Amino acid sequence: MRVAILDDYQGVARDLADWSQLPAGSDLTVFERPLGNTDEVAAALEPFDVLVIMRERTPFPASLIERLPNLKLLVTTGARNNAVDLKACAARGIPVCGTRMVGAPTAELTWGLILALAKRIPTEERALREGRWQTGLTGDLGGKRLGLVGLGKLGSKVAKVGQAFGMEVVAWSPNLTDERAAEAGVTRVEKRDLFATSDVVSVHLVLSDRTRGVVGADEIGAMKPSAFLVNTSRAGLVDEAALAHALRHGHIGGAGIDVFPVEPLPADSLWLSLPNTVLTPHLGYVTRENYAVFYRDALEDILAWTAGSPVRLLSPA
């Protein structure tokens, strides 16, 4: 059995699970860098029986799956992967298994970005290394309004930290009710009100046809000139052109971004030239604790499949 692990950017996959438990005679290959375009991916992966993929880093549309004649099992880290065509896998009889996740690392990163913006941490750190001292004023969070676009598992955790800072927390999502918001100690407001009155807007929705572009030009245009927008969810939730325009022209105070339309971020990406931003390379789920669960569960998925009893199967919608 030939097994490949994809997109192990940090080179940690071999150390975080005991791959010696694979069936005798198995061959394990680890790809640490992105494989390139669809043709390059197909050529590199054609020999493998089992693939372990890291979240949505390498898409698996039907056009790629059709070019992998030896593929018998696909394992994705996490409990969902919108970049895998589950129907195409099912049509080929290829089971797709997921893994668990631990904690709420994306909520923690959200606060890292909010604090970096409010306290000017990257700007002042760079200035200090360049010999300059206290180049601007930072801002307080206490008494300010935190607006959450989405109040699910992650949004609720972000809300609790905002409340601990003494912030007023409001929320909106397509299905949010007053009762659900009250359970989290949060006030539900209309979408326009959230963007117009919040000092920090943080996005926590699952990307779908319904939510794509949910933060558009109208919403960004309604924000205060001093307000920050933070997105640790998915790039497609926010209108990239509208946000770039607002940042270039100083219409909002800044943005903290962890997710991008193209990843890894190209060297000529417009994001690298935009002012008033704190950028991170999709780190929301990238923790040692989470990766340990990912790879151990991936190994367990493979072993369960070889024993004829696959676990954590993902089904087409």
CB-CB contact of 75 with 53 (8 Å): yes
**For this structure, is 263 an active site residue?**
yes
**For this structure, is 251 an active site residue?**
no
Query: Does residue 232 contact residue 203 with C-beta atoms inside 8 Å?
Result: yes
Catalytic residue among 145, 188, 204, 282: 282
Active site residue 126: no
List 212, 240, 263, 296, catalytic entry:
263
**Going edge to edge, which strands form the sheet with 2-5?**
27-30, 2-5, 50-53, 73-76, 96-97
The strand order across the sheet containing 168-172 reads 187-188, 168-172, 145-149, 200-203, 228-231, 254-257, 277-279
Contact indicator for 51, 74 with CB cutoff of 8 Å: yes
- Burial-class residue 119 by CB neighbours within 10 Å (0-12, 13-18, 19+): middle
201 phi and psi, to 5 degrees? -115, 125
Point out the catalytic residue in the list 55, 234, 300, 312.
234
Supply φ then ψ for residue 28, to 5 degrees: -110, 125
38 with 59: CB under 8 angstroms?
Answer: no
Max CA pair span of the chain: 64
Whole-Å CA distances, 292 to 8, 17, 18, 209, 301: 13, 7, 11, 32, 14
The CA distance from 280 to 231, in Å, is 11
Q: Please, how many CA atoms are within 13 Å of residue 312, restricted to the half-sphere of its CB?
A: 23
Residues with catalytic function: 234, 263, 282
